[in-house]
Amino acid sequence: MAEHRTGQVGHFINGQRVNGEGGRKGVVFNPTTGEVQGEVALASASEMSAAIEFADRAFADWSQINPQRRARVMFRFKELVEKDIDNLARMISSEHGKTLPDARGDVQRGLEVVEFACGIPHLQKGEYTEAAGPGIDVYSMRQPLGVVAGITPFNFPAMIPMWMFSVAIACGNAFINKPSEKDPSCPMRLAELMMEAGAPAGILNCVNGDKEAVDTLIQDPRVKAISFVGSSDIAHYIYSEGARHHTRVQAFGGAKNHMIILPDADMESVVNQLIGSAYGSAGERCMATPVAVPVGDKTADKLINMLRPKVESLRIGPSTADDADLGPLVTAAHRDRVKRWIDLAIEEGQELLIDGREFSLQGYENGFFMGGTLLDRAKPEHKSYQEEIFGPVLQIARAADFDEAVALPSKHQYGNGVAIFTRNGAAAREFAQRVNVGMVGVNVPIPVPVAYHTFGGWKRSGFGDVNQHGPEGVRFWTKIKTITQRWPEDVQGSEFVIPTMG
């Protein structure tokens, strides 16, 4: 199986690959070796504006195609992605550093939303009320917005773009994806596959870039909606700037997900699930579990005794290794940032149980690797607890009782996901009702909802009122129009009061 190498990456605009003309470029690393494996063009404002123009033209016809035919394109796209999944996984693994099985999972979770979007003839139906008043019927329809955009992160270069564009395009919109410049190859390939599936040129464009490209999307009045996933500071910026320019925005930011462990939990199951959710993909997931909250010191001590050998025996290897639990981090700069968070946690008084900072993989000494790190006695006042580390680091924050365990994630600035592990149904139900977090798992460590439900966090993890995919996604990518109609044979006189249906 040939190894992917990035080479020169431009843009995919109006149905074809084009070289960037702006002159600025970013580098794409191979995180396993530390080598530069390619360059990616960074679009100028004029290049992004041209992509918007092509998308706007394509929308006029695409929005008039009936939903069954749009669904058939999505069915064919799904089949093409399934056939190409190993190639897509190699692209992701090579540029991101996640293992090949994890990369295939990245693609598969995106495909689940494509499957949901295949049901658009039903999903986009409006409502109808007969005889809402004397001779009056009322009905509604959901219509596409026009040109819409997604700004997607490095950690899921397949899943999150497909979460966005599959529903948006199925609804009749034209889409521009601005992916991360760190791993651009997979989003480019997805745009090609959408064309092969039968979507018209200009319906799915992939424009690489940085802040200049993002600001152009926000400020152009032809762009009607933007979906974003990334850091909370950038999410807040895009949300506030979008509002200033009258653009609909959903913006999802950082996370600090907690796993609450009650004394009655099956500890072997807890440890097995915690090790994967904390260290899988080197912790570079917004739904990872970087904080464990054992209730009571006895629970905490038992957890640590069982967890320590699991962390020490993590299999860290090249992203292409079949038996690796995790690969490298995405860049050297990000790896060094994670190390600085560990330094700070120690300075703040946390107990370093396992130190992964000096890990080096033989034969890949220049790769961006880290070992698993385990820290105990994190406190709410610690900066390293308050912020997202986004690396293979697990912090243990001990809680004295159930109420403190509920309070820790509830009071945290982020509110993406949380999990509770217990055999007590009443405690789990109370926790799920009380906790101030957007997504809750009960004996499930990574509570990412299935495609026909919806994804979204609270507080600084989510800006905007509508979540991703599921019925919420259809609502975000459409506008509702309501028609009140009467077909009288004869209308006598004029009415000067507001009409009622009583």
- C-alpha to C-alpha distance for 97 and 94, rounded to whole angstroms: 6
The H or E element that residue 39 is part of is: strand 35-41
Cβ(154)–Cβ(230) below 8 Å? no
403, amino acid identity: D
Instruction: Find the Cα–Cα–Cα–Cα dihedral 96, 100, 102, 106, rounded to 10°.
Output: 70
Which 3-state string (H, E, C) describes 103-132? Answer: HHHHHHHHHHHHHHHCCHHHHCCCCEEEEE
Residue 218, number of CB atoms within 10 A of its CB: 23
Active site residue 286: yes
- Tell me the C-alpha distance between 308 and 357, whole Å: 16
Question: Which amino acid is located at 248 in the chain?
Answer: R
How distant, in Å, are the alpha carbons of 404, 460, 479 from that of 411? 10, 12, 35
Enter the DSSP assignment of 399. Answer: B
**Amino acid residing at 384:** S
DSSP character at residue 468:
B
Residue of 118, 171, 186, 286 marked active site: 286
Alpha-carbon gap, residue 28 to 25, rounded angstroms: 10
**CA separation for the pair 86, 84 (Å, rounded):** 6
d(CA 488, CA 383): 68
Catalytic residue positions, numbered: 286
